[in-house]
Amino acid sequence: MSIVVRNVNKNFGDFAALTDVSVAIPTGGLTALLGPSGGGKSTLLRIIAGLEHPDSGSIEIGGTDATNVPAQRRGVGFVFQHYAAFKHMSVAKNVAFGLEIRKRPKDEIAARVRDMLDLVHLSQFADRLPSQLSGGQRQRMALARALAIEPKVLLLDEPFGALDAKVRKELRDWLRRLHDEVHVTTVFVTHDQEEALEVADTIVVINNGRVEQIGSPDDLYDRPANAFVLEFLGPITHLNGVAVRPHDIDVVSAQSAADFPAEVVAGRITRLLRIGFEVRITVAPDAPAGAEVDPVSVTLTRSEARELALEVGQVVGLRARTGALVR
């Protein structure tokens, strides 16, 4: 089911949470709503779900106007960040809940619950209580519960937000694989650009209640529409007054700054950090007396740093790589 959001405005009192937001979400896609805290991502998701009503504009789901259709009749499954499970019910009962209130036949419910628990790899925990699961397992249970009713659309609001980095990463990979299996149109909210770049087919960048850009992860990363998208999608640093990604800077060594060609910025390494396979250096560019120039961050691989024998205090030259994205 495709989702079309047209010219949606939403105010809370005199605060504009969404301003003229239009987004087309393709059938079967995995779309991320990405942006900083307070930007309006959850509000947009809640409007798609029918939990919030837009002040103006429309929502179309599967080609039908759903703007005035109540949430329970939109055919959407919803998972929140702090998922409220029924604590006194087993995992299986939690997954069955949506089907039971829809009064589906008992054997159909049993079969569907089995399939769903299988899909999220929780079959062996069917009889446990939610409190006996880990955070990641509880999130998978929440997804199984949302998928059990065979939604046309799956909406996830920071589904992995409260989990630690390693579990988040596992669940991300798992969500991608699950989506490739079931192909339900999925929209998820995240403020984590890496999560969006890794999982989504399409990313909608939302900031201050407005859509900044919509595109594939590659489009956004390589062709950001504006400085906000450039900065939000990955680290940037400033070299010679232009914004550039730290891994798009070449480091050249020389005996003294006088050896560098004119386009190379000379400076001294003030900090050097090894993090996993990366080496991050901070370089204080040479500046005329009295002038202040911001330090430049550069990311290299360990072998590049080793080859240049980089160390704190060393004079190096910096230049944006050919083909680097600069702004």
Q: Dihedral angle at the C-alpha atoms of 230, 232, 235, 239, nearest 10 degrees?
A: 40
- 10 Å Cβ neighbour count for 284? 14
Q: Which is nearer to ligand ATP, 25 or 189 (CB)?
A: 189
Residue 235 Cα distances to 60, 209, 299, angstroms: 36, 23, 10
Residue 238 DSSP code: E
Region of 85 on the Ramachandran plot (φ > 0 left; ψ -120 to 50 alpha; else beta): beta
Of 12, 121, 132, 321, the residue at the interface with ligand ATP (CB under 6 A) is 12
Q: Tell me the per-residue interface mask from 134 to 173 with ligand ATP, x by CB under 6 A, - otherwise.
A: ----------------------------------------
Spatial distance between the Cα atoms of 179 and 202, rounded to a whole number of angstroms: 14
Closest distance of CB 43 from ligand ATP, Å: 3
Q: How far is the CB of 214 from ligand ATP (least distance, A)?
A: 16
Can you tell me the distance from the alpha carbon of 37 to that of 76, in angstroms, rounded to the nearest whole number?
24
Least distance CB 88 / ligand ATP (angstroms): 29
Q: How many residues does the chain have?
A: 327
Longest dimension (CA), the chain: 82
Q: Which is nearer to ligand ATP, 178 or 187 (CB)?
A: 187
Give the SS3 label for residue 145. helix
- Alpha-carbon gap, residue 157 to 228, rounded angstroms: 23
SS3 300: strand
Which one, 54 or 267, has the nearer CB to ligand ATP? 54
Among 114, 191, 210, 280, binds ligand ATP (CB under 6 A): 191
Which of 214, 207, 236, 219 is closest to 296 using CA atoms? Answer: 236
Instruction: Kindly identify the residues of this chain, within the stretch 17-46, that bind ligand ATP according to CB under 6 A.
Output: 17, 35, 37-43
CB of 204 to ligand ATP, least distance (A): 11
Q: Which is nearer to ligand ATP, 42 or 139 (CB)?
A: 42
197 binds ligand ATP (CB under 6 A): no
Q: Is 229 in contact with 220 (CB distance < 8 Å)?
A: yes
The minimum distance between CB 48 and ligand ATP, in angstroms, equals: 12
In the complex with ligand ATP, the residue whose CB is nearer, 61 or 189, is 189
- Cβ-based nearer residue to ligand ATP, 42 or 137: 42
- Rounded distance, CA 139 to CA 102, Å? 23
Beta carbon of residue 93, minimum distance to ligand ATP (angstroms, whole number) = 30
* Nearer to ligand ATP among residue 41 and residue 145 (C-beta): 41
Nearest distance in Å: CB 35, ligand ATP: 6
Nearest to 76 by CA among 146, 141, 138: 146
The residues that touch ligand ATP, with contacts defined as CB under 6 A, are: 12, 15, 17, 35, 37-43, 189, 191
